[in-house]
Chain A
Amino acid sequence: MDFDIFIHILVAAIAAGTPFVYAALGELVTEKSGVLNLGVEGMMLVGAISGFIAMTKTGSLLVAVLCGMSAGALMACIFAVLTLTLMANQVASGLALTIFGVGLSAFLGLKYTSIALPGVKELHIPVLSDIPVIGQLLFSHDILIYSSFVLFAAVSWFLYKTKAGLILRGIGEAPKSAHALGYNVIKIRYLAVLFGGAMAGLGGAYLSVAYTPMWVEGMVAGRGWVSLALVVFATWRPARVMAGAYLFGGITIAQFHVQGFGIEIPSQLLSMLPYIATIVVLVLISRDQNTIRLNSPASLGITYHPDNQ
Chain B
Amino acid sequence: MFIKIEPRPEPSRAMKYLSPLLAAALMLVSGLIIFTLLGKNPASAFHAFFIEPVNDLYGIGELFIKASPLMLIGTGLAVGFRASIWNIGAEGQLAIGAILGGYIAIIFNDSSGFFILPLMILAGAVGGILWASIPAFLKTVFNANEILVSLMLNYVAILLLAMLVHGPLRDPNGYGFPQSVLFADSAILPVLLEGTRLHLGVFLSLAGVVVGWVFLLKSFTGYQIQVAGLAQKAATYAGYKYKKLIWIGLLSGGVTAGIAGVLEIAGPIGQLLPSVSPGYGYAAIIVAFVGRLHPGGIFLSSLLMALLYLGGESGQMNLDLPSAVTGIFQGLLLFYLLAADFLINYRIRLNTLQQEAD
Are B145 and A275 neighbours in the complex by a CB distance under 8 Å?
A: no
Contacts between the two chains (Cβ within 8 Å), count: 133
Contacting A at CB under 8 A, from B121-171, are: 138, 142-145, 147-149, 151-153, 155-156, 159-160, 162-163, 166-167
**Is B342 in contact with chain A by the CB < 8 A criterion?**
yes
Contacting B at CB under 8 A, from A67-126, are: 78, 81-82, 86-89, 91-93, 95-97, 99-104, 106-107, 110
Task: With A82-B335, A95-B285, A279-B152 as known contacts, state yes or no: A104 contacts B143, CB within 8 Å.
Answer: no
Q: Chain A contact residues: over half helix, strand or loop, or mixed?
A: helix
The docked-state distance in angstroms from the alpha carbon of A83 to that of B322 is: 30
The docked-state distance in angstroms from the alpha carbon of A308 to that of B344 is: 14
Are A91 and B152 neighbours in the complex by a CB distance under 8 Å?
A: no
- Residues of chain A with a CB closer than 8 A to B142's CB: 283, 286-287
The docked-state distance in angstroms from the alpha carbon of A97 to that of B282 is: 12
Q: How far is the CB of A97 from chain B (nearest CB, A)?
A: 8
The docked-state distance in angstroms from the alpha carbon of A101 to that of B327 is: 9
**Is B314 in contact with chain A by the CB < 8 A criterion?**
no
Are B338 and A82 neighbours in the complex by a CB distance under 8 Å?
A: yes
Q: How far is the CB of A193 from chain B (nearest CB, A)?
A: 15
Contact of B144 among A107, A275, A279 (CB under 8 A): A279
Contact of B322 among A81, A99, A107, A269 (CB under 8 A): A107
Contacting A at CB under 8 A, from B55-100, are: 86, 88
The docked-state distance in angstroms from the alpha carbon of A275 to that of B143 is: 18
Mark each residue of chain B from 322 to 352: 1 if its CB lies under 8 Å from any CB of chain A, else 0: 1011111111101100110110010000000
**Is B289 in contact with chain A by the CB < 8 A criterion?**
yes
The docked-state distance in angstroms from the alpha carbon of A287 to that of B53 is: 51
**Is A56 in contact with chain B by the CB < 8 A criterion?**
no
Q: Chain B contact residues: over half helix, strand or loop, or mixed?
A: helix
The docked-state distance in angstroms from the alpha carbon of A107 to that of B167 is: 32
**Is A228 in contact with chain B by the CB < 8 A criterion?**
yes
The docked-state distance in angstroms from the alpha carbon of A232 to that of B144 is: 10
Contact of B152 among A106, A222, A308 (CB under 8 A): A222
Are A107 and B338 neighbours in the complex by a CB distance under 8 Å?
A: no
Are B167 and A103 neighbours in the complex by a CB distance under 8 Å?
A: no
Task: With A82-B339, A86-B342, A110-B324 as known contacts, state yes or no: A96 contacts B144, CB within 8 Å.
Answer: no
Q: How far is the CB of B82 from chain A (nearest CB, A)?
A: 13
Contact of B324 among A96, A97, A107 (CB under 8 A): A107
**Is B190 in contact with chain A by the CB < 8 A criterion?**
no
The docked-state distance in angstroms from the alpha carbon of A92 to that of B337 is: 10
Are B289 and A275 neighbours in the complex by a CB distance under 8 Å?
A: no
Are A103 and B338 neighbours in the complex by a CB distance under 8 Å?
A: no
Are A107 and B143 neighbours in the complex by a CB distance under 8 Å?
A: no
Contacting B at CB under 8 A, from A288-304, are: 289, 292
Mark each residue of chain A from 264 to 289: 1 if its CB lies under 8 Å from any CB of chain B, else 0: 00101101100110110011001101
**Is B188 in contact with chain A by the CB < 8 A criterion?**
no
Are B327 and A106 neighbours in the complex by a CB distance under 8 Å?
A: yes
Chain A residue nearest in CB terms to B151: A225
The docked-state distance in angstroms from the alpha carbon of A82 to that of B155 is: 28
Give me 7 A-to-B residue pairs in the complex whose CB atoms sit less than 8 angstroms apart, sorted by A's number: A82-B335, A88-B341, A93-B335, A100-B328, A228-B148, A268-B159, A275-B152
Q: Report which B residues bind A (CB closer than 8 A).
A: 7, 86, 88, 138, 142-145, 147-149, 151-153, 155-156, 159-160, 162-163, 166-167, 282-283, 285-286, 289, 322, 324-332, 334-335, 338-339, 341-342, 345
For the complex with contacts A86-B342, A95-B334, 15 further pairs of A-B residues with Cβ separation under 8 Å are A78-B335, A95-B285, A100-B327, A100-B331, A100-B332, A100-B334, A103-B327, A106-B324, A107-B328, A221-B155, A228-B148, A269-B163, A282-B145, A282-B148, A286-B142
**What are the 10 closest A-B residue pairs judged by CB atoms, nearest first?**
A103-B327, A100-B331, A268-B163, A107-B324, A96-B334, A88-B338, A106-B324, A86-B342, A268-B159, A275-B152
